[in-house]
Amino acid sequence: MIRVTDLVKCHGPARILDGATLTAAPGQLTALVGPSGGGKSTLLRCVNGLEQFQSGTVEAFGHTLTGGQPPTQPALQKLRRAVGMVFQQFHLFPHLTALENVMSGPVHALGKPKAEAEQTAKRLLARVGLADKAGARPANLSGGQQQRVAIARALAVEPSAILFDEPTSALDPQMVGEVLAVMRDLAADGQTMIVVSHDVDFARSAAVVHKMVAGKVVQSGPPDAVL
């Protein structure tokens, strides 16, 4: 369960999040929609601890962040192992192969043995349809392939939930489908996900849709009611 309560985040005089409140139930696909500049990315980053906020709380799987109180490093690490993130720009590590990218979390964040991490990574690459690209460097992969590796990388640390920030917005149209297919597959498997998406079709497959405008969640409910 992820519960965001009355989140307030300011940049100088600008209130980027202005009392945003939402919940995401475990095992469900939660969609976050709304006009650009509404604060969706900022909200996800707050949930992941990449941004700090002035007031409100974020609770995720037993970990809590409180506005105005800088979290400790170990607390942040624990939270992030529970809540993974997939970025619009993929941010794969360019000096590592696809396989090594996927292994990096288990090895360097969880301290798993290399052999075990490699097994997991191979399985996950196969799951996103890239078993044959294990040895490729990010520079030699298409955008769609890179984003699928990024998803496998997020899955590798076995997070309770994954946050997706416009995962297909940076892709050429013909590659959007392959990434969304992987995400649908995850959702069908009962992976808890919060997805920021402009893709109406995809948002329709969510259990709950939240609409954000000007730093507030203005509407929450089933897709038919919100979209």
Ligand X SMILES: Nc1ncnc2c1ncn2[C@@H]1O[C@H](COP(=O)(O)OP(=O)(O)O)[C@@H](O)[C@H]1O
Q: Which positions from 3 through 32 interact with ligand X, judged by CB under 6 A?
A: 11, 14, 16
Q: Are strands 2-11 and 55-60 parallel, antiparallel or unpaired?
A: antiparallel
Side chain identity at residue 143, one-letter code? G
Site string for Mg ion, 38-67 (x = CB under 5 A): ---x--------------------------
Q: Decide which of another protein, ligand X, Mg ion, none touches 144; Cβ closer than 5 to 8 Å per partner kind.
A: none
Shortest Cβ 164–Mg ion spacing (Å): 11
Nearer to ligand X, 40 or 80 (CB): 40
**Burial (0-12, 13-18, 19+ Cβ within 10 Å), 167:** buried
Beta bridge partners of 216: 213
Tell me the window of 4-12, 19-27, 34-42, 105-113 that interacts with another protein (CB under 8 A). 105-113
DSSP string, 93-139: -TTS-HHHHHHHIIIIIS---HHHHHHHHHHHHHHTT-GGGTT--GG
Is the Cα torsion angle 59, 63, 69, 74 positive or negative in sign? negative
Site of interaction with ligand X (CB under 6 A): 11, 14, 16, 36-42
Site of interaction with another protein (CB under 8 A): 48-50, 73, 76-78, 80-81, 84-85, 87, 89, 91-95, 104-105, 108-110, 137, 150, 153-154, 157
